[in-house]
Amino acid sequence: MANMFAMILAIATLITGILWCLERFKQALARRWLSQQPGQLCAGAEVLIGNDVAVKVSHKPGWIESCASIFPVLLLVFIFRSFIFEPFQIPSGSMMPTLLVGDFILVEKFAYGIKDPITQTTLIKTGHPKRGDVVVFKYPPDPSLDYIKRVVGLPGDRVSYDPANKHVTVQPGCASGQDCAMALPITYSEFAPSDFVQTFNSADNSEVSSSFLRVLTDRQVDGCIRLAQRKESLDGVVHNVLTVPGQQDQLGIYYKQPGSSLAEWVVPQGEYFMMGDNRDNSADSRYWGFVPERNLVGKATAIWISFDKQEGKWPTGVRLSRIGGIH
C-alpha cells in the first residue's frame, strides 16, 4: 500500500506539474505578444487588446486551472514524504510498551540513505542502522507490508536468544563464523508487573486472537494475563521490554540458519536482525530471518499524535502525553 500511494502521489505530482508548466508557458507567450504590439496605438486600444488576450488565455476548463494550482502543494508533499519524513500508524502491539496501537509516528527517510521513492533503490548512502534503533522496513517475505522493530544485530553479529530467561546475547565480529569478539554488555533490570494485560478471544472459526489493555497494577481483570516489564540496555540504548510470565517461544518455528545452532543466528553482511519490544508477542527475525539493507525505509524518530484505541477498533480519545520522542 505504501508503494502504491507513493506511485499515485508521484503520478499526480507529474501530471499537475505538466499542467502548471503549460499554464506558465501560455502566460509568458501572452506577455511577450503584448510587449510586441505597436507603440502608436492609443491607450484605450492597448487596454482593449490586453483585455482581449487576457480573456483568450483564461478561457480554459476550470479543472485544468485547479489541477495546475495544487501542483506546488503536491510537490512539497512528495518531497517531504519521499526524502525527509513519512508518517506511519502503529497497527499492532509488537513494539509495546515503546509504541502502542494508535500511535502515529514520523520516520526519518534520509537516516540510512536517499532512496528512489518508487523502486526503493538507494541513490545516496547517508548512514547505517545502529543497535537499538527503531526502524521501519519492508517485511522480507512480503515487501508490500511495512514492519517496525528494533535493531538488535548488525552485519557480522552473532545473536543468541534464551527463550527461558528472555535474554539476548550479541557477539560482534562473527562474519566468518569463528573467533567472535566478546559479547556486548547487555544488561537487564528485574521483572516487575507492567500496566498492560493481554486478553484472548475465540472467533467462530476457533482461531484465538489477543489484544492488549492498559490496566493499573493495583487492579485485577479476570481472564487476562498481566505482562511483565523490565529495562534492557542494548549497546547503551535503554528501553523497556514486555514478556508473558511463564511463556516460552515456539522453538519449532524459529528460523534455522544453516550452520548455526537453534536460537542462534550470524547476521550476514548487508543484513540486520530485528526484534520487537513485546518479546513474546512479536513475529520478528527469530521466526523469519534477516532484513536486507535495501528493505530499510527509515528510522522512527517521534510520535506526532496518539489515539487511544484497540486493534481493529475506532479511537476513543487522544493520548497527548505520548507525543514526543521514541526511545
pLDDT digits (tens, 9 = 90+) for 193-210: 999 999 887 666 556 678
In angstroms, the first-to-last Cα distance of the chain is: 27
- d(CA 147, CA 136) in angstroms, rounded, equals 6
305 lies in the same domain as 238: yes
22 lies in the same domain as 96: no
245 lies in the same domain as 105: yes
Say what the pLDDT of residue 138 is.
94
Residue 77, in any domain of the structure: no
- 149 tagged catalytic: yes
- 60 tagged catalytic: no
Dihedral sign for Cα atoms in the order 224, 283, 293, 271:
positive
Are 33 and 57 contacting, i.e. CB atoms less than 8 angstroms apart? no
Domain boundary among 40, 69, 98: 69
Residue-range definition of the domain harbouring residue 128: 83-325
The enclosing H or E element of 52 equals: helix 43-58
**Predicted confidence band of residue 132 (pLDDT cuts 50, 70, 90):** very high
The tens digit of pLDDT for each residue in 67-93 reads 778 888 888 988 888 889 999 999 999
Candidate list 138, 149, 166, 299, residue with the active-site label: 149
3-state secondary structure of 129: coil
3-state secondary structure of 212: strand
Q: Which of 71, 84, 32, 25 is closest to 53 using CA atoms?
A: 32
42 lies in the same domain as 113: no
Candidate list 82, 92, 94, 194, residue with the active-site label: 94
Which has the minimum average pLDDT: 133-147, 191-205, 252-266? Answer: 191-205
114 lies in the same domain as 244: yes
53 lies in the same domain as 105: no
Residue 98, in any domain of the structure: yes
Residue 75, in any domain of the structure: no
